[in-house]
Structure 1
Amino acid sequence: MRNSVITFPVPENEPVKTYLKGSPERVALEAELEHQSNIVVDIPIIIGGKEIRTGITGKVTCPHDHKHVLASYHKVTEKEVKMAIDAAMEARKIWANTDWTVRAAIMLKMAELLATKYRPIINAANMLGQSKNIYQAEIDSACETVDFFRYNVHYASKLYGMQPKNGVGVLNHTEFRPLEGFVLAVTPFNFTSIASNLCMTPILMGNVAVWKPSTTALLSNYYLMKLYKEAGLPDGVVNFLPGSGALIGKICTESHYFAGFHFTGSTATFKTLWQAACANLDNYISYPRIVGETGGKDFIFVHPTADTKAVATAAFCGAYEYQGQKCSAASRMYIPKSMWPAVLEDMKAMAKEVKMGDVKDPVNYINAVIDEASFDKCAEYINYAKNSKDAKVVMGGNCDKSVGYFVEPTVIETSDPHFKSMEEEIFGPILTVYPYDDDKVEETVKLCDETSPYGLTGSVFAQDRLAAERISEQLQNAAGNFYINDKPTGAVVGLQPFGGARASGTDDKAGGEFNLIRWVTPRVVKETLVSPTDYRYSYLK
C-alpha cells in the first residue's frame, strides 16, 4: 500500500568530468574505446523486449575512419513496424496505470546507471559512432542525458502538483492522463541525450513509444536500450526500430492509435510527418500532439562596443565545436567592419592551434562530420563561395574524405547579407560573416531578424548593456534561446530549456516543464459531498 507523498526536489546538474590523463574516468573510457573498436556489434530490432533480425542489414561506421565497421544493424519491414505498434499498445495497459512514482524511480535508476556503469560505454559509442571528442561526448551522452532523467522527474512532480482548489461541499482534483495511443519518437544523430529524451519524456508521463533512431547514431542508441532494460523499464514501453524513416513514419501516422510524435531533425521531414498526420486526422482516436525541433540558422550579432577577444572565442567555439553539427551552432555573424580584421586574426590563431583527426586521440579538437552526404554538402557550399564574386573563403576551406569525412573550420566572408550561406542551413563547420558599416547597426539588426526563416538560437555581443538590451528586444522573435555576450550554444537542462519557433519548431522547450505537459491530457474530477435533491432555485421556493 502506497500512502506516502514523495517529493522530488530540484536536482543538481551532473558534474562534467575532466578526463585528465591517468584519471579513473580517462582510464575507463580508453579501455572501452579499445574494446568497442575491436568488435562488430549486431544491432537487432527490439519489439516488446524481443530481439528481431530480418537479415536486411546495414553498416555503422566511424565517420573519422569510414572503412572501420562498428556494427551491423537489421532494418524493419512493414511487418515489424506494425508489430511495434501492437506491442506498444499492449504495454500501455500496464504502464499507463503504473504509479507515477514508480515510473520516476525507474528514470532515476537510469540516471544512476548512466552516471556510473554506463558512462564509459555510452561515451565511447558516441565518440566512435558519431565522431565526438571526449568533452563533447561527456557533456552530451553522459551529463545532459542524466540531467534529463533527473530534472524531468522533478518537473513531473510539479506538474502533478498543479491542482484546483475545492469549493463548498465539493472536492476537486486533476488527473494527468497519458495520451490515448502511442508516441512516435524520431531522433537525430547529433545528440544522444536528445535521442533519449524524445522517448523518455513521454514515457515518464505514462506513454509508450515507437522509436525511430537515426541510422548514424545507432550504436549509442542501442546501448541506451540496454540501459533502459537494466533499469527496469517494462518490455514494449519503448520499441526500437532501425530502418527507413519514410516507411516507419507512414505506417505510424496511418494507425488509429497514433497519439503524436516527438521529433528532432530536418524541417522537410518534420513537415512531411505533420502533413501525414493531417491527412489521417479523421482516423485518429484523438488529435495528435506534434512536438518538434528542426534546426536553425543561428547568429552572432556584434555591436561596435563588443570585446573582440570574446567575440572571436564565441565565434570559433560556437561554430566549430562538434564540427558545427549542433542545431544551435553559430552559422552567420554580423560584425562592424572596423572590428572584423582583429576578430578574424584571433580566429585564425585558434585554427592554427587546434588539431583535427580521430576521436581516440584526445589532442584532436575537430573531428569528422557525420557522413559522406554531410561532407559533400559542406564542400559544395565552400566551393560555391570560392567561385562567387560576392564572397571569399578567408579561413580554412579544405576538405578531405579519403580516410574520414574531414572539413576544416571555415570562414566565408561576404559583402551580400543575403548570400546563399548566410540564409541556408548547412550543419557543418562553416561560419559566414557579413561585415557591416559601423554606423548601420539598426539596419543590420533588421537584416539579422528577417534573413532566415529559422528562430532557434542567437547571441549579441556588446559592452554597452543598454545597446545589448535594445538589440535583444529587436530580435525577440529571431531566437528561442538568446545569449548576451556568449556563444549561441551550450544550453543546460534545468537552466536554459531549449527550443525555437518560426521554422525551427514548436518551441516546447526540452529540459523544462513546457515539454512534459504536451504528453498528458488532463481530466478534472469534481466530487459533490452531499448531492442536491431539489431542482428549484432559491427564489422559486
Structure 2
Amino acid sequence: VYAIAPFNFTSIAANLCCAPVLMGNTALWKPSKTSILSNWYAYKMLEEAGLPPGVINFVPGDPVEVTAAVLSSPSFAGLHYTGSTEIFRRLWKQIGDQLENYRSYPRIVGETGGKDFIFAHPSADVAPLVTAAVRGAFEYQGQKCSAASRMYIPESIWPQVKDQLVEATRSLPMGDVRDFRNFVSAVIDEGAYKRLQQAIEGAKEDPQCHIIAGGECDDSQGWYISPTVIECEDPRSYSMETELFGPILSVFVYDDAEMDRCLDLVDNTSPYALTGAVFCSDRVATDAISERLRYSAGNFYINDKPTGAVVGQQPFGGARASGTDDKAGSALNLLRWVAPRTVKENFMPPTAHEYPHMG
C-alpha cells in the first residue's frame, strides 16, 4: 500500500501506513518534502517499538519519480492518501491507466481538500461562536483541511460578532512556534505565502470585499501571514469559494429572513464536503439545519469549531471533492485494507444430482 503523507499532521502520516499494516499488508511511506524530519522520527519510533524490517518502508524523494515507480509495480495494491484534491485526482487517473498491470484492483482511499464552514442561526450564542471562529480558522495558521474558511452570520447578531471577532483576531500573538505563548506562526513555505498574499491582495482590490482584521504579509524573517478576516458582500467571491489553506476567514452576512437561501449557499458554494459547524440555541432549528446540510460535511459539529476530531470517537473524512469518506480512525477505514474470503465446507455432500422436485 502506497501511503502519501501531508506536511501538516505527523500523526496522520504514521496512521496512513500503520492502518494497512495492522490489517496484514506492507506499506511504502512517502513523506511530504516539508515534513521529512518529523515523519522520520515517527518512523524510528515505530522501529524502536518493534516494527520488523520491510513492513513499512520509508521513502522520501522526488514525488513524481517515487510515484511513477510505485504505480508501475504489479504488486501495487492500494493508495492511502492525504493531500490536495488536484494531486489525488491525478493519482486516480494514473492508477486507472495501468489497471491491466496490477495483480488485483487497487483500493483507493483519500482525504483531500475542504472549504469548511461555520453557519450561525439567529439564536446563536455570540461568545462561543467567536471563539470557534478564531480557533477554527487560525490555529495552525489555518493549514489543515478542516480549518474554518467561510462563515455565514445573520444580520441580527453581526454587529456583536464583528466587534468581538475583530478584537480577538487582532489580539492573537504571532511568532516562533517554540514559544508556546504564540497563537499563530509562519505558513509552511514560500509557495504557500505567495498564494495567500495574492488572495489577500485580490480581496483588497475587490470593492465587494472588506478586510476588517489582518491583511498584513511579512516574509522578512519567515513567511508570516497575519490572521485575516474578510467581510464579503458577495457570497460567491473568490475567498468564499476557494480553498486557501491559510489564516484567512471570509464572512458573509445574510438577511435573517433569507436563512433558507443561505443554507443553499452553504451547501452549493463549494465542491467540498469535509467539515462544517452550526451554532444555534434552538434545538428544533439545529436538527432541521443538520438535516438540510446532511451531505455538506462528513464531520459535522454543533456549537463547536469544525476542527479537532477526537481520535477514536470522531472518525474523520468527507465526500464530494473532499475524498472517499472512508473515515480514518475507525473500523470503516481498516476494512478497506483486507480481502474478505468466504469458505464453505459441506459435511453432508449430496450423492445424487437429481432434485426432489424432479419427482
Mapped pair 1:512 → 2:350:
no
What are the within-5 Å matches in structure 2 for residues 43-442 of structure 1?
A: 183-442=1-260
2:68 aligns to what SS in structure 1?
helix
After superposition, the C-alpha distances for 1:328-375 in whole angstroms (9 at most, x for unaligned) are 000000111232221121122223432110112121111111111111
1:459 corresponds to 2:277: yes
1:407-445 CA deviation, whole Å, 9 max, x = no partner? 111001110010001011000000000011121100100
CA distance in 2, matches of 1:285, 1:407: 48
Amino acid in the other structure paired with 2:161? V
Q: d(CA) in 1 for partners of 2:327 and 2:358?
A: 54
**How far does the alpha carbon of each residue in 1:154-198 deviate from its partner, in whole angstroms, 9 at most, with x for none?**
xxxxxxxxxxxxxxxxxxxxxxxxxxxxx1100101111110110
The CA distance in 1 between the partners of 2:307 and 2:358, in whole Å, is: 67
C-alpha separation between the residues in 2 aligned to 1:223 and 1:506? 29
Match of 1:522 in 2: 340
Aligned length: 359
What do you get for the CA RMSD once the two structures are aligned? 1.2
Q: Aligned-pair distance for 1:534? A: 2.8
Contact 2:174 2:182 in 1 (8 A): yes
Q: Deviations over 1:305-350 (max 9, x none)?
A: 1111111111111000111011100000011123222112112222
Q: 2:327 and 2:172 mapped to 1: Cα distance?
A: 33
Amino acid at match of 1:529: F
Which amino acid in structure 2 is aligned with residue 458 of structure 1?
G
Shift of 1:462: 1.0
Secondary structure at the aligned position of 2:211 is classed as strand
Q: Percent identity?
A: 57
Is residue 2:356 matched to residue 1:538? yes
* Deviation for aligned residue 1:494: 1.5
Report which stretch shifted further, 339-348 or 327-336: 339-348
Question: Is 1:445 equivalent to 2:263 in the alignment?
Answer: yes
Aligned to 1:169: none
The DSSP-based 3-state class of the residue aligned with 1:216 is: coil
Task: Provide the residue aligned with 1:152 in structure 2.
Answer: none
Question: Which whole-Å CA distance do the structure 2 matches of 1:387 and 1:204 have between them?
Answer: 52
3-state DSSP class of the match of 2:322? coil
Kindly state the Cα deviation for residue 533 of structure 1 after the two structures are TM-superposed: 2.6
By how many angstroms is 1:535 displaced? 2.6
Aligned to 1:492: 310
CA contact (8 A) 2:146 2:274 kept: yes
The question of 1:483 aligning with 2:332 is answered no
| Secondary structure of 1:272 counterpart | helix
The CA distance in 2 between the partners of 1:511 and 1:370, in whole Å, is 26
Structure 1 residue 539: Cα displacement: 5.1
After superposing the two structures, state which structure 1 stretch, 320-329 or 522-531, moved more. Answer: 522-531
Residue identity matched to 1:430: I
Encode CA deviations 1:441-496: one digit per residue, 9 max, x unaligned: 00100011110000000011111111111111111111000011111011011211
CA distance in 2, matches of 1:465, 1:377: 40
Q: Per-residue deviation at 1:540?
A: 5.4
Contact 2:209–2:230 (CA under 8 A) maintained in structure 1: yes
- Give 2:181's aligned amino acid: V
Measured after TM superposition, the shift of residue 240 of structure 1 is 1.1
CA distance in 2: counterparts of 1:355 and 1:315, whole angstroms: 16
- Aligned partner of 1:263: which letter? Y
CA shift digits 1:195-219 (9 cap, x unpaired): 0110000000000111110111111
How far apart, CA to CA, are the structure 2 residues paired with 1:340 and 1:248?
50
d(CA) in 2 for partners of 1:537 and 1:451?
A: 61
Aligned residues of 2:170 and 2:214 also touching (Cα < 8 A): no
Supply the distance in 2 between the matched residues of 1:273 and 1:483 (Cα, whole angstroms).
31
- Larger of the two Rg values belongs to structure: 1
- Structure-1 separation of matches of 2:229 and 2:171: 16
Q: Deviations over 1:257-302 (max 9, x none)?
A: 1111000000110011000000001111111101000010000011
Counterpart residue type for residue 302 of structure 1? A
Query: Matches of 2:66 and 2:283 in 1, distance apart?
Result: 50
Q: Which stretch shifts more, 237-246 or 417-426?
A: 237-246
Report the counterpart of residue 80 of structure 1 in structure 2: none
Q: Separation in 2 of the partners of 1:352 and 1:448?
A: 27
Q: TM-score, normalised by structure 1?
A: 0.65
Letter in 2 for 1:440: E
